[in-house]
Amino acid sequence: MPYHDMRDYLAALEQHGLLRRIAREVDHNWEVACLAKWMYQALPVDQRFGLYFEKVKGFDGPVVTGALGASPASVAMALHCEVDEINATVLAALRHPRKPVTVDAGACQEIVHRGKDANLSRLPVVTWTPGKDKAPYLTTIVVTRDHDTGAANMGVYRTMVRDPGSAVVNLAPNRQGTKNVRTWTDKGKTAPIAWVIASEPVIHLATVLNLPPGRDEIEIAGALKGAPIELVRCKTVDLLVPATAEIIVEAEIAPGETDDEGPFGEFAGYMGQVEKRPLARITAITHRRDPVFYGYTSQMPPSESTTIQSLMNGGVILHLLRDQLGEQSVHDAAIDLTFGGLLGHCVVAMTPQYPGHGKRVGRMVADTTVLKRVTVVDADVDIRDPSHIEWALNSRFDPRRDTVIIDDVFVPLQIDPSVRDARGHVTPGSKLVLDATQKIDAGPFSLPPRDMMMRALDTWQACGLPKFDIPKRAKLRIERS
Ligand SMILES: Cc1cc2nc3c(=O)[nH]c(=O)nc-3n(C[C@H](O)[C@H](O)[C@H](O)COP(=O)(O)O)c2cc1C
């Protein structure tokens, strides 16, 4: 059964040991973030878990972070699939979107605060890089709508609490949310905006998909859920939001109103810069009874943000290559979990059909996304195992022949320090494609034949040697031995 809301999902995670409750009282001004940082900085990915802080100083309700993106296991649980089915699940949803339905009432509006009561200090908004950040901020789903077409968009845009009644939204110039807001403010009208805090997990995950304009994340969320998402109309702005969400913040952005945003800890691992960003005036806060507050852990990678963005966008690359560019020879794509979605390193597995095919596919990915590095390997390499990728690069890749550098690609990201000059200006960046597919048949692998290796496993066990699960790397190699 799909999860009805965030509570259902948290219960499932807890049952599977993927969520830990912290009973001791913690301070949201520093302790929540520092504990989350230890989880991501110290624990190996397969030992991470979501954090459920039961008692937060000065607040009645709990604060949760890391639950959606502790590890691939948590994302798989949110999608009701196995870890190695995440890409296939996302790809199927992209191919068969499912429209939402509008309902008359939703649990997210059990309690309604308007006017002066709509006060952000009601919420335990976390300070994420304590000691360095300017202010606490929301990291959750942001809903906007195009004035002319009516099309809605969901994205995650950091939102700084300026004072109890207003917030500054990090709507970067190229974002769909920014374009939507401008369709109102350019006409001299106030733009509606809403934050969705803790909804059905598929909505959170669909929000971080990098989709072309015109594709509605809520329809992908419906496809991931296997049922239409129920939406309810906001109380003070003309937007639809998920009916079973824990908390909704509604606001308006007036034309020309901006304020300084930042500095804040950024996903590239450094403190960011101060930018002028749109100011939102809060018009309502609605919530369920006893709401759960959620914020994604981001900043220094690896983090919840890098984990969910990387895992969800692997399916987007596959959709692009197979369905839009017709490259059926591509088997799989994975983005490393350490730099956040389409900005990091993508590894593509394929069966090249002609000389130069690997390079061509690598270049297609580099040219059509903001990814900085693309490595292409054969289908017999486990693209989620760095040691296997290293082996392919060592044994199948000649740097002079198999490297493509794409120069002067505009990377409009101030927060990536590698494309900044000494004065802090963004320079045209570059991209790297490495084709580590085999160019010739190098002959059989230097491993004993498969049946001999499998028989030797009996001897291994009989000798009382430590038990292990055969890694995919070894399976792929033994298959061909
Ligand atoms: C935790 C987290 C924080 C993010 N913060 C921002 C942000 O402040 N500004 C931004 O432009 N993108 C941010 N992103 C990335 C966007 O949400 C993401 O790329 C999304 O797909 C953009 O959607 P859009 O292209 O529809 O605007 C963040 C993502 C996550 C997971």
pLDDT digits (tens, 9 = 90+) for 234-270: 999 999 999 999 999 999 999 999 999 999 999 989 9
Is the beta carbon of 175 within 6 A of some atom in ligand 1? yes
Residue whose CA is at the smallest distance from ligand 1 atom 5: 157
pLDDT at 411: 67
Amino acid at position 340, single letter = G
Is the beta carbon of 179 within 6 A of some atom in ligand 1? no
Percent of the chain with pLDDT over 70: 99
Atom of ligand 1 at shortest range from CA of 170? 8
pLDDT tens across 11-31, in order? 999 999 999 999 999 999 999
pLDDT at 289: 97
pLDDT at 412: 60
Q: How far, in Å, from the CA of 254 to the mean position of ligand 1?
A: 22
Could you give the CA distance from residue 340 to residue 25 in angstroms, rounded to a whole number? 31
Is 80 exceeded by the pLDDT of residue 433? yes
Task: Give the single-character DSSP code of 265.
Answer: B
Q: Look up residue 250 and give its two tokens.
A: 């509604």
Could you give the CA distance from residue 434 to residue 375 in angstroms, rounded to a whole number? 5
User: Where does the pLDDT of residue 88 fall: very low under 50, low under 70, confident under 90, or very high at 90 and above?
Assistant: very high
pLDDT tens across 33-42, in order? 999 999 999 9
Tell me which residue of 381, 265, 335, 344 sits closest to 75, measured CA to CA: 335
pLDDT at 90: 98
Residue whose CA is at the smallest distance from ligand 1 atom 31: 305
Tell me which residue of 8, 120, 125, 26 sits closest to 67, measured CA to CA: 8
pLDDT at 469: 95
pLDDT tens across 125-149, in order? 999 999 999 999 999 999 999 999 9
pLDDT at 420: 84
Write down the mean pLDDT value for the chain: 96
Q: What is the DSSP string of 207-244?
A: HT----TT--HHHHHHHHHTSPPEEEE-SSSS-EEETT
Q: What predicted TM-score, i.e. pTM, was given to this entire model? A: 0.96
Mean pLDDT across 209-219: 91
Is the beta carbon of 218 within 6 A of some atom in ligand 1? no
Is 70 exceeded by the pLDDT of residue 440? yes
SS3 state at 473: helix
Percent of the chain with pLDDT over 90: 90
pLDDT at 295: 98
pLDDT tens across 159-187, in order? 999 999 999 999 998 889 999 999 999 99
Is 70 exceeded by the pLDDT of residue 398? yes
